[in-house]
Amino acid sequence: MSQTQAMLGRLQKMRLLVKTRKRGHHKGTRLSSHFGSSLEFSDFRVYHPGDDVRQIDWNVYGRTQKHYIKRFLDEQELSIAVYLDVTSSMRVISSKWEFAKRLAALLSYVVLASEDRLIFSPVASNTLQTIRKKGAVSSRRTYLDILQLEETGQTGDFIASLQNSVSKNQQLSILITDGLEPLDRIDALLKKLSSLKQEIWFFQVLSSDEISPTYIGDLKLIDSESETQVNVSMNAAILSQYEKRLNDHKKELERLCRRYGGHYIPISDQDHLESIFFHELPARGLMR
């Protein structure tokens, strides 16, 4: 068995843990905090006129001479959106792009393997289509489809595109992006998702070169979004200033996610996805 097959086999038994109280619209396999008609027993309560007499537990009546009914936890599916940034800044470094796609593919696989409803959106693309699937039968095909995504055309901004296309009926929105857009735009997006009562997971994916650049000397830098060029002389002082600004930006992203009740998860394209899924996310209480 390949390493990938082994990982998918383990993930098939796991699920994402969502704390939002926003309820799904369809029956599913997840137990909600509401009472309903599933087979998962919760507790007893005293019978009241109008209750379903079929729920009376006659064994309890025999012991107490009082009428009690059984209560069961309701089962609701979750609807989860995975938003993948497909802008040029995500795609220009191949290792970062492939890592982000695999992260999105694995998260989508877990959603569907849990019999939940998935909306996968390649945000800012002019050619790639949104994927809408439900249930484990679609999990492996969807995983492969996301891995094979290719975008070659010019794209718009991630935040602006998502602001205009965000889905409103999800319990969880997962954002996979480098998070390098202006903080005020990110703030506005998170505020909108929060107002829709959606839990937010913000995965910031950066390449190792973006986190700790090693460039020294005279360079021509090209903006991957606008294709504008600028000549710079890189030295240790400039690199130190860059790293400080990046760390300050990341701290502010974390603060914004906390402000709107979300989770900020910074990762590098050199990290191991096995460690993220089987250690970091469970440790954060986001998977089990």
Supply φ then ψ for residue 39, to 5 degrees: -95, 5
Per-residue confidence (pLDDT) for residue 220, from 0 to 100 = 59
Q: Which of 76, 111, 133 is the last residue before a domain boundary?
A: 76
Structural domain total, the chain: 2
The pLDDT tens digits of the residues spanning 83-126 come to 999 999 999 999 999 999 999 999 999 999 999 999 999 999 98
191 and 256, same domain (yes or no):
yes
Residue of higher predicted confidence among 65 and 71: 65
The pLDDT tens digits of the residues spanning 191-235 come to 999 999 999 999 999 999 999 988 776 665 656 555 666 667 778
Positive or negative, the CA dihedral 207, 211, 216, 221 is positive
- Which residue, among 121, 165, 167, has the nearest Cα to 142 in the 3D structure? 121
Cα–Cα distance for residue pair 129/123, rounded to 1 Å = 9
263 and 164, same domain (yes or no):
yes
CATH number at residue 85: 3.40.50.410
Per-residue confidence (pLDDT) for residue 76, from 0 to 100 = 66
The pLDDT tens digits of the residues spanning 147-194 come to 999 987 778 899 999 999 998 889 999 999 999 999 999 999 999 999
Whether 127 maps to a domain, the answer reads yes
Its pTM surpasses 0.85:
no
The pLDDT tens digits of the residues spanning 4-47 come to 999 999 999 999 999 865 554 444 455 444 444 444 455 566 77
69 and 113, same domain (yes or no):
no
Q: Which residues contact 281 (CB under 8 A, 6 or more apart)?
A: 265, 287
Residue with tokens 């005020």: 184
Whether 115 maps to a domain, the answer reads yes
* Residue 34 lies in domain: 30-76
At 48, is the pLDDT very low, low, confident or very high (cuts 50, 70, 90)? confident
Cα–Cα distance for residue pair 74/173, rounded to 1 Å = 23
65 and 133, same domain (yes or no):
no
For 269-285, what is the mean pLDDT?
97
Answer yes or no: is pLDDT of 287 > 80: yes
Cα–Cα distance for residue pair 192/99, rounded to 1 Å = 27
Whether 288 maps to a domain, the answer reads no
Per-residue confidence (pLDDT) for residue 31, from 0 to 100 = 43
